[in-house]
Amino acid sequence: MLQKGISYTFRLTISILILSNLSFGQTLNCTCFVKGKIIDRQSGEVVVGALVEISAQKKATFTNKNGEYLIENVCEGKYEMNIRILGYDSQKLEVNLVHENTHDFNLNESQIHLDGVNISAKRIENISGNEKQLDSEQLNKLTGQNLATILTSISGISIIQTGSSIGKPVIHGMHSNRILTINNGIRHEGQQWGNEHAPEIDPFLAKQITVIKGAKSVRYGPEAIGGVIVIEPNELKHLDKIQTEINQFFMSNGLQNGISGIVESSFHKIRGLDWRVQASTKKGGNTSTPAYNLANTGSQEFNFSLGAKYSKKKTDLNLFFSQFNSKIGIFSGAHIGNTTDLALAIGREKPLDVYTPESFSYKINKPYQDIQHSLFKLKLNQLLSNNQNLQVTFGQQYNFRAEVDALRGDRNTAQVFKINTNTLEVLFNHKPFIKRISGNLGLNGLYQYNISTGSINVPQKSNVLIPNYTNVTVGAFWIERYVKGDFEMEAGMRYDRRFLDVYYLKRLQNEISNEFFGNQNLTNTFSISRIFKNRIKLGYNFATAWKPPVVNELFSDGVHHGSATYEVGDVNLKTEKAIENSIVLNFSDKFYQFEVLGYFNYLRNYVFLAPTGNSVLTIRGAFPEFKYTQTNARFVGFDISNTISKFQKFTISNQLSLLWADDLTRNQPLIFIPANKSETAINYKFNKSWLSEMALNHQFVAKQNRTPQNQIFDNISGETALKLIGGDYMAAPAAYNLFDLSVSKNYKFKNLSTVNIILECKNVLNTQYRDYLNRFRYFTDDIGRNFSLRTNINF
């Protein structure tokens, strides 16, 4: 949850006066007008230059120097009014222009509640503007896809795929342990270290997803180097009746289908007790590329959550439990015994016939991944005097992951990982000083342990990928924000300490080895932003961040199945530190918006995995050896977006994501960095038609021409069975273009029920392509045309 309680979420009050002349007979009355004033509730100052528009009537205006606006000559009816202001989240508001409202001539602010049209807009929390949101309306269009795929609709975000069902988000070229996910207010502690480990989160529960592009370490602690993904369900609120939401989807490719239900209400007997129950299930079979089917690429998911909130006077108590279960088949053709198998698989134009069956199946065979993640949360929010508040959040997580491989008989070779995490956060929002400075102080604690074999400090086996460990991290932070009219400034600092204790057995030894790592760091952030003439916003953001080396980077020593590499960790790795600078320029006019985000990130001791050029001989043959190593790295890039929108009826927008990432020590590009891409969307909303909306999407992904060419390690002795092309098995795939088409229809009923149906076709032209960040690009094309039907029902 994005700290609802933080006092710098300024609220904006918009007062509205709705008037119309008495209607004459049955003719449509088009002499109504809407008039009002926009005020920032926190400062009490009027907001000048906010855009107010009624799209359906093609009317738009800006607030004047007194914060007032007036839209005249509007016909009677029910409309959606959009309010857009630089520095605030845009808002939608329903206005009902009927002649009954005529008596509200002298409506004053205190009477606004009569019409229920009082709305509040949240001021953008991250003042430098590198924050992007997906709201429930956008999320409804994307249901059924995994979290990472959903996030790629934001510029600057890409996805690392392992086949079509496993996806990991990449923000500005950084992923895994450099991205933090805050799920329901809790730091998500899954197993983010592997490229084939997707976040264990059910996107059906999310009603708002916020992505912070860039470091946010001061607020969220270590590892938030590349960015933060904040996933929130709707806040629980008092409801007189039982409210139900049903989301359903069907996709033609893989005959995937799923359904999610959310039921919420309040107890009548106990005042102030609200609850929610949610469950979702998903099932998919073998997917297909434009030319062939892929064996064993099905997936299954079952998730549920329970939430309750009890409010009494100034106290809010939140209780939440969720569980995520998923089983994902791994494409049989990517099951690699050794490097020779890999070389042969890469050499083939198309996977062998046995891996591309004609018949369809939902069955998941070995190899597969079996994942479970449980989260329990208890949150106390206490409002203190002077509008100060104290928030205490406790979270408990259990993450289970089994990677099951095909073996003789009915036996499995399974790699099992189990991580338990407890987190505690105490957050205090102090009262504003001199009305303009507000801020918060917080304490964080984390206790985590992993047991691979035996008990924590008595491991029993040496051949484990992740050794037993305990991790204790503590941190304290302080953030203050200053706001005066068009000008905002924020500064913060944080101190963290991590204590990592690792217990493992060395090969062929019975004596337990214990390794201790203590890391500490001070992080800072500073942001400043200014709005010029209500049209242009310029923001600058400076942040430092850090990541102590993660257990797998320190201790890996074994074959990584699926990627046919022998991975070796390095216990001498140093803490990775980042210094990040970003500038956001935002221009917003009546029908045109432009935004450019430029970033320049420098990482000292950037940890990455690189081929050594040696091979390791095992019984299954020789494997190329990959080692974790460090370098100084530079990430420079731009996210540029242009939107032309006429009364929100016709919208054409383009998003451009550009990135250059370099290894400064070796003076060459970094490996596995997303290619530049451009996305264009054309959207048309119909007024009164059998269709509500139509959209055409075009995505162009360039070829990644910037791949490393030089050897990273010296002392190459052996020979690898594979010729590595710039540290990779295969050259980067060619550029590609994809087209998507979608139509939707909304129904609104008198009793406030809504039904929304979306029909979509992805990859309309059935283009054959391979993506640089898809780990299965060595073996197979990406998936082909996919029709989907989504239904969202609220009643």
Partner 1 sequence: MKKSSILLLCFVLGFSACKKEDEIGEENELITTIKLNFKNGTDIKSFSYKDLDGDGGITPVIDKISLAANTTYDLSIEFLDESKSPAVNITQEVSGESDEHLVLFTPSTIALGTYSYADKDVNLLPIGLIGKYSTQSAGMGMLKVQLRHQPPINGKNTKDGTSIPGSDDINIDFALEVK
Q: Which residues of this protein are in contact with partner 1, per CB under 8 A?
A: 242, 263, 277, 279, 286, 295-296, 302, 304, 306, 323, 325, 332, 335-338, 340-341, 352, 354-355, 357, 359, 361, 363, 365-366, 370, 372, 374, 398, 400, 402, 404, 406-409, 411-416, 418, 461-463, 507-508, 557-559, 566, 568, 616-621
The CA-to-CA distance between both ends of the chain, in Å, stands at: 25
Q: Which residues of 372-409 are buried (b: 16+ CB within 10 A; e: fewer)?
A: bbbbbbebebbbeeeebbebebbbbbebbbbbbbeeee
Q: Return the number of other C-beta atoms located less than 10 Å from residue 116's C-beta.
A: 9
Nearest approach in angstroms of CB 322 to partner 1 is: 10
Rounded to the nearest whole angstrom, what is the least distance from the CB of residue 194 to partner 1 in the complex? 17
Residue closer to partner 1 (CB basis): 196 or 595: 196
Q: By C-beta, is 55 or 397 nearer to partner 1?
A: 397
In the complex, least distance from residue 776 CB atom to partner 1, rounded to whole angstroms: 15
Shortest Å, Cβ 354 to partner 1: 5
| Cβ closest to partner 1, residue 403 vs residue 679 | 403
Say which residues have a Cβ less than 8 Å from residue 268's Cβ, sequence separation at least 6: none
List for the chain the helix, strand, coil content (%; round to 5).
10, 55, 35
β pairing state of 621-646 and 77-84: unpaired
Q: Are 415 and 465 in contact (CB under 8 A)?
A: yes
Given its phi and psi angles, is residue 605 left (phi above 0), alpha (psi -120 to 50 degrees) or beta?
Answer: left
Q: How far is the CB of 308 from partner 1 (least distance, A)?
A: 12
Least distance in angstroms from the C-beta of 15 to partner 1: 39
- Which of 615, 578, 580, 572 has the alpha carbon at shortest distance from 597? 580
Q: Within 10 A of 24 (CB to CB), how many other CB atoms are there? A: 8
List, as one string, the DSSP characters of 230-265: EEEPPPP---SS-EEEEEEEEETTTTEEEEEEEEEE
Query: CB of residue 270 vs partner 1: minimum separation in angstroms?
Result: 14
CA atoms within 13 Å, Cβ hemisphere of 546: 19
Considering the complex, what minimum distance in angstroms separates the CB of residue 95 from partner 1?
A: 34
- In terms of CB distance, is 171 or 279 closer to partner 1? 279
Task: Please report how close the Cβ of residue 612 comes to partner 1 at its closest, in angstroms.
Answer: 13
Nearer to partner 1, 337 or 485 (CB): 337
Q: Are strands 565-568 and 621-646 parallel, antiparallel or unpaired?
A: parallel
Nearer to partner 1, 416 or 644 (CB): 416
Q: How far is the CB of 463 from partner 1 (least distance, A)?
A: 5
Tokens of 584: 């956001």
> Smallest distance, Å, CB 748 to partner 1?
24
Q: Shortest distance, CB of residue 462 to partner 1, whole angstroms?
A: 8
Question: Could you give the count of Cα atoms lying within 13 Å of 144 in the half-sphere of its Cβ?
Answer: 27
**Element holding 162 (H helix, E strand):** strand 157-162
Nearest CA to 577 among 501, 631, 620, 534?
A: 631
Give which of 670, 701, 639 is closest to 214, Cα–Cα: 639
Instruction: Tell me how far, at minimum, the Cβ of 621 lies from partner 1, in Å.
Output: 3
Backbone angles phi, psi at 438, to 5 degrees: -135, 160
Whole-number Cα distances in Å, 612 to 183, 628, 713: 37, 10, 5
* Residue 443: closest CA among 495, 377, 387: 495
Shortest spacing between CB 782 and partner 1, in angstroms: 21
DSSP H or E stretch at residue 345: helix 339-347
Query: Is the peptide bond preceding residue 199 cis, with omega within 30 degrees of 0?
Result: no
Determine the 3-state secondary structure of 467 from DSSP.
Answer: coil
Give min distance, CB of 169 to partner 1, in A: 25
Long-range pairs for 145-148 at CB < 8 Å and ≥24 separation?
145/203, 146/198, 146/203, 147/198, 147/199, 147/201, 147/203, 147/206, 147/229, 147/231, 148/198, 148/199
Give every CB contact of residue 723 below 8 A, 6+ residues apart in sequence. Answer: none
Q: How far apart are CA 524 and CA 774, in angstroms?
A: 35
DSSP string, 476-509: EEEEEEEEETTEEEEEEEEEEEEEEEEEEE-TT-
- What does each C-alpha distance from 78 to 55, 98, 617, 714, 752 come to in angstroms? 12, 8, 73, 71, 13
Distance CA 15, CA 273 (A): 31
Q: Under a CB-based contact definition with an 8 Å cutoff, are residues 784 and 289 in contact? A: yes
- Give the pair of three-digit tokens for residue 103: 């008596």
Tell me whether residue 484 or residue 506 sits nearer to partner 1 (CB atom).
506
Nearest approach, Cβ of residue 103 and partner 1 (Å): 40
Compute the least distance from the CB of residue 93 to partner 1, in Å.
Answer: 32
At its nearest, how many Å lie between partner 1 and the CB of residue 273? 14
Q: Can you give the C-alpha Rg of the chain in angstroms?
A: 27
**Count of C-beta atoms within a 10 Å radius of residue 113:** 9
